[in-house]
């Protein structure tokens, strides 16, 4: 599920997401994916899981979090993300071999 952030889900939203079969709630990827597609850009999403959703609170071992705790976990992951991105850039081919550049060829009406 992608929600408009930055905000936490309400307990009611969380219960609905669970009942609908969703397992991860994300505050990014949309509209970024659509904007990249409109520019014929390649796109990858890197997600950092920072906490359990509000709807899971009360289950064994899951306690409520606040924004400060989420930022602390996020900051701990920043160095890992930087390493990942540098490795991805290092391994990118010099020429595009994907079809992203042609994704909108027949899309205009």
Question: Which residues participate in catalysis according to the annotation?
Answer: 51, 53
26: helix, strand or coil? strand
Alpha-helix residue ranges (DSSP H) falling in 47-100: 67-90
Look at the block and give the residue holding tokens 């020429």.
Answer: 95
| Cβ–Cβ < 8 Å for 17, 1 | yes
Which residues lie below 8 Å from residue 3, measured CB to CB, with a gap of 6+?
A: 9, 13, 25, 26, 27
């Amino acid at each position: 599920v992608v929600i408009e952030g930055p905000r936490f889900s309400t307990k009611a939203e969380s219960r609905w997401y669970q009942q609908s079969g969703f397992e991860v709630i994300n505050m990014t990827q949309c509209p970024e994916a659509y904007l990249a597609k409109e520019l014929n850009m390649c796109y990858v999403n890197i997600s950092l899981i920072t906490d359990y959703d509000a709807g899971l609170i009360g289950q064994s071992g899951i306690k409520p979090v606040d924004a400060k705790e989420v930022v602390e976990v996020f900051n701990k992951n920043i160095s890992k993300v930087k390493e990942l991105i540098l490795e991805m850039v290092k391994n990118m081919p010099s020429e595009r071999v994907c079809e992203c550049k042609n994704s909108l060829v027949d899309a205009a009406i």
